[in-house]
Amino acid sequence: MRRKAGVGAIQKQKLEQEKYRDKGTEIQENQFEQMTKHMETFRVNLEEFASKYKNEIKKNAQFRRQFTEMCASIGVDPLASGKGFWSVLGIGDFYYELAVQIVEVCMATNYKNGGLISLDELRTRLIQARGRRKEHQEITNEDLLAAAKKLRIFGNGFSVVPIGRGKHLVQSIPGELSMDHTAVLSQASLSTNAYVSKSILCKELRWEEDRAQKALDHMMKEGLAWLDRQAKDETLYWFPSLFTACIVSKE
């Protein structure tokens, strides 16, 4: 018959477990301290790097993207900071200026697209507007997304709407688009002419007719779609926010 452990053995086992637990906590604390020191060293080096290559970061889009990725790896957002070292560098000014110009373009095109504009058209218009003044400063869709997201401080009047396949729209009207409305925009973006119909939505999204019509009626009401009753078979709904950006150059 197996003998049960005595009180002394149990106490000894508990003491050993406590020692292991204390040692584990000590190791974790040392690792955290070392990691904190490494992160602080990395941050200081990053500041020195930013100071040295400040102009290159502003002018070179790829260089700027790599720099912001390095910042993100340690939880630093210099482009959103308005105080301290980063504001002295003025790196965030590029995005603040870009955000203001995004607002200007959105307001100027609101009458046409109802407050939704594709990222590609937005970039085309901004390049044209900035060309005379910032000819050596390249901007990318990534820059536009970063700047547009800063506009959230104005509430739900400005937001970025992903519509699939890496495409985005910038919304400059109050209110949020539902999943159905986003699905309609995503479906319209698949067409080279940027339109959908009730039958297309029912077929491609497997919706009931009432659901498709309700979504289309809402987008008409909000001024996001143009109605076309001259089509041969059925009514079409065109979305000017998805029109190709090359139209801009003809205006």
The CATH number of residue 164's host domain is 1.10.10.10
Instruction: List the chain pLDDT tens, one digit each, 251 residues.
Output: 455 555 666 676 777 777 667 666 767 777 767 766 766 776 677 777 777 777 777 677 677 777 777 776 666 665 555 444 445 445 566 777 788 888 888 888 888 888 889 998 998 888 887 765 554 567 888 888 888 877 776 665 788 888 888 888 888 877 778 899 999 999 998 877 889 999 999 999 999 999 999 999 999 988 889 999 887 889 999 998 888 644 444 45
The number of distinct structural domains making up the chain is 2
The SS3 assignment for 250 reads helix
Q: Do residues 166 and 223 share a domain?
A: yes
Q: pLDDT tens digits, residue range 101-132?
A: 888 888 888 888 888 899 989 988 888 877 65
The answer to whether residues 101 and 208 belong to one domain is yes
Residue 154 lies in a domain: yes
Q: State whether 56 and 133 are in the same domain.
A: no
- pLDDT at residue 160, as a whole number: 86
- Residue 166 corresponds to which tokens in the numbers above? 């890496």
- Distance, CA of 216 to chain centre: 26
What's the pLDDT at 39? 67
Q: How many H-runs (helices) and E-runs (strands) does the chain carry? A: 10, 6
The answer as to whether 219 is a domain residue is yes
Cβ pair 159, 181 in contact under 8 A:
no
Report how far residue 196's alpha carbon sits from residue 204's, in angstroms, rounded to the nearest whole number: 10
Do both 110 and 172 map to the same domain?
Answer: yes
Within a domain: residue 210?
A: yes
Please check whether residues 66 and 101 belong to one and the same domain: no
- In a domain, residue 26? The reply is yes
Does 101 lie in the same domain as 64?
no
Strands 226-228 and 195-196: unpaired
Could you tell me if residue 163 is inside a domain?
yes
Same domain, 62 and 99: no
- Is the domain of 112 the same as that of 235? yes
Are 58 and 150 within one domain?
no
Domain extent for 34: 12-76
Please give the C-alpha separations between residue 24 and each of 10, 87, 248, in angstroms, as whole numbers: 21, 41, 63
**One-letter amino acid identity for 129?**
A
37 and 128 together in one domain: no
Residue 82 lies in a domain: no
What is residue 141's predicted lDDT score, i.e. its pLDDT? 86
Say if 86 falls within a structural domain. no
1 lies in some domain = no
Do 150 and 225 lie in a common domain? yes
